Amino acid sequence: MLEILLPFALLLAALGLFVLFWGRRKRGETGLPGGEVIYSDTRDWEKPEKPLFSRRYGLVGRPDYLVRTVEDGVSVAIPVEVKSRKRPTEPYPSHILQLITYCLLVEDNFGARPPYGLLRYADATLRIDYTDELRRQVLDIAEAIRIARQAKDVARRHEEPNRCRACGYRHACGDESLV
Ligand code: SF4
């Protein structure tokens, strides 16, 4: 089982890195949502016992919590991603796309599409709607990562030396690194 899960775990980790590096730039192009602040009672939040796995989409991940709720008479699980920091002015694209990845995993595992996910910061909880557009973005990124993993070389997609300075892969990056 481990040999099956490991590539998907790596894929999700790569997905996280990808959205971290390119998310800021994509925000302007895609209009990622700012999120709606909601009241949230944490008493009914459950920690998932094990990671959620989707063979169909080649993804695996474990939301911090799942909230059970009823939408239009159907029981659905709402994924929650917890961040220890205070709420940023706008949620980072990487946080949004990580949460939407969990929405996709919930949809595939439980057979009911969650209408939204929750981003819980230290001082506020934001509702992020699980839209078709965000769903498509996650699937596009996952596909791009699959393709990139087969490629011999992957070109740099930014002009920001500070990113390279802070990058954990700089030692292996060769001529693409800006520093
Ligand atoms: S060092 Fe290479 S992998 Fe890291 S941010 Fe720069 S270009 Fe990207």
Ligand 1 atom with the smallest distance to the CA of 156 is 7
pTM to 2 decimals?
0.70
Q: Where are the domains of the chain?
A: 2-176
Asked if 56 contacts 108 with a C-beta cutoff of 8 angstroms, the reply is yes
Estimate the crossing angle of helix 2-30 against helix 93-110, to 10 degrees: 130
Query: Quick one: CATH architecture of 2-176?
Result: Alpha-Beta Complex (3.90)
Q: HSE (CB half, 13 Å, CA atoms) of 25?
A: 10
The pLDDT tens digits of the residues spanning 59-92 come to 999 999 999 888 888 888 999 999 999 999 989 9
Residue 143 alpha carbon to ligand 1 centre in Å: 20
Residue 151 alpha carbon to ligand 1 centre in Å: 16
List CB contacts of 26: < 8 A, sequence separation 6 or more: 32, 93, 137
